[in-house]
Structure 1
Amino acid sequence: MPRKIEKLIKKEIQFPSLPAIAVEILDTVNKDDATLTQLGDLIALDPALSAKMLKIANSGIFSGAREISNLNRAMAILGTNTIRSIALSFVISSDLCSKRPGYNIEDFWKRSAISAVAAELIAKCVQHRDEDLFLTGLLQDLGVLTILLTKGDEYRILLDSYKDMQQDLKTLEQEKYGFDHQQVGNALLSSWNLPESITTPIRYHHCPNEAPSQYETSTRILDFANKLGELYTSNEDSQNVRIIQNEMAEQFDICPDDTLELIDQVAEKGRELIAMFDLDPSDIKPYTQLLQDANRQLEQLNLTNAQMILELQDAKKKVDRLVLKLQESNSRLRELVYQDALTGLYNHRYFQETLESEMARAKRYQASLSLVLFDIDNFKAVNDSFGHPAGDLVLMNIATAVKGAVRNSDVVARFGGDEFAIILPSTNAAGAKTFAENLRLAVEGIASLIDGQAISATVSLGVVTVLPSQASMSKSELIEIADNNLYQAKQQGRNRVTCSTVGS
């Protein structure tokens, strides 16, 4: 993953910590001289975890025909990596189930459990050995939960829009934040020191064609496991089953009937695992049973014309309500896509699109164009000393000051974290410098009151002006020059403006 994306994720997302017993399990397994007995003794310290371990070891997901009667035998038969995966799955899900992000956490873990079982069963079916796939399947969408715990209502609206309009979630996330839940999941699990055999397939589980070759098969399996999780928890229809059957035949040479049998097995074994997570599995039924129930209902239908007309009228009302809901979702989505939730300024995506159009306009009319990049000096110290709520207040107050200082034609955006960007159309070098100096002084005079204490802040600004003779300059080149000027302002002592002009 590019370091710029990693840095952005760490700045925007707060990672949940790994439970203490999970850290001990990983530390034990990662030791060169670790033994099964040491791992067993550690798990045995938690009776509830030990009991669940034996249940799942005998569930049919992992075991053969012989019953596994004690933890030591389970470890000897299943091996260290499988035992590690099973133990971590219960520890992590139990810990995160206690967090209530205002989202249906039970459905999230039901889908995750189905995906974990599906990954394990598909791997067996295609004879692919990967002892980490069960845990990888369970944790593949942990990035969604992590973003939700940090972003709250803002991300919930994004999820609703994704479900209502059936758009690609990772595309919406990239447009809104500059990263997606695959990348967040990868970064989180890497910070927990889980191996690349888990973190890399999660990074690419929606785009397996992009995965490194050594992880491609595991990532493809994870992609199908995710689709089966959606099938059983998101009201997906028979058309999706046919798509899965066709893709399984194309990629793994599995005939449609065998895929259908596999889909049923996923539901049956998934119900067992969901119950072990202390969740209600009653709404998970094998796909063929759902088809049989539907056929019985069709046989019982004996509708009169009047009844059919009434049902059509009801259906039209539902369609009308859905259209209205989609219109509302579109409106919310447009706002989400272009607006920064904290400051109310335009976001990074809007800035990129607008800068491109303004550069084209300047070229067409042979006009000057100026760009200002600035960030808050020593902002990390504000967060460290006063807390993130204080830092947020400083950001909002500065955003308010900037909005009051610009013209209607200027565009102000939050570039990311504590960095901001201002596009000044038809503005020459002298005008841009004057504007930047006035803005620096305005911010210098702002005091944010936190618990009776005034917090002051300053900004460093990098300014670049492009003259008509350099209209062919690219957007990235212009941003890079402004960013370098901002860096120079920092190096020269902060709370100052550094300007440059491109062209003659």
Structure 2
Amino acid sequence: MKTEDDILIVAPEGRYWGLPDNIAGRLAVSECPAWGQSRAKQPSKIFFILDSAADFGFTKLAETASNFPEASIYLLGETIFEPIMQRVSDKGVCSGYYILPLTESEFSQILENGKLDSVESNSYEARIRKLSTIAYCDELTGLRRRRFFTEAGNQILRLSECCEIAVSVFLFDIDDFKKYNDQYGHLAGDQIIKDTSNALRNSFRPHDLLARIGGDEFAVMIWDFEIKNESIETGGDERRHYYKHPVKSSEISRRISENVVEVETSRGRLTLSGGMASFPEGGSDLHKLLESADNALMKAKKSGKHTILFS
């Protein structure tokens, strides 16, 4: 293989699909972050392909940054949750991040200049917005879809393992939604779902992960919050889960108990039931976390609804 010694791609085996073939074929490719240490010339640029499905995430990224401290690292991935990338970028671990696939022109500019020029950047952003909207955004609410929640949620859990940040998952659904839908019709039901989506947006921080995962079902992953020696009362249950500054513990308590479990709509006030699970106590991976949160949600439904219970 013809290689360029100052460029390195770090990726799980066979996961180079988003790179232009004629470019990826002439660069050095490694499945091991330490691969390039024996080379005479250390890389100046590293393209690190994130792949949560292959468990190729932030721990390996940290190892790569440690092995090549002088290199500029660019994160590439099919699904990129910007708040996570911004967190990693702010810590100086990476120099930039881009969503795959990249065109030959885009990748060449990043190779040469470390960024896209304004014309190329506008074209790239417009294309990515269109692709992301089609693949990942719920048309009715504008929230993320289940697929994005799964992929970005796995990224957050990988970051949690690497950086020891707190992570919890909520599942919500609308109490007696079928009754409202049958009584007022599907258009009114759609409006109720929109109102609920807006209430959830207003109740959590911009960098928390929100998604509509079913008809009237919603998932929220909160991360990077502080655990304090206090308690939050919701539906008779108590747990010690609080947001980090600048959102105070009393504020998140108020938001959960008031904004989330009750929603004002054009048809009157609706209530929600919710279940919550925390990582890793509630599950060692996203599937198990969601399963625990769903079990707590079912208990909330059986206990009289209009409440949030914890696994």
Q: What's the TM-score once normalised by structure 1's chain length? A: 0.31
Q: Which of the pair is proportionally richer in strand?
A: 2
Question: Greater relative contact order: 1 or 2 (C-alpha under 8 angstroms, separation 6 or more)?
Answer: 2
Bigger Rg, structure 1 or 2: 1
Q: Which of the pair is proportionally richer in helix?
A: 1
Q: What's the TM-score once normalised by structure 2's chain length? A: 0.50
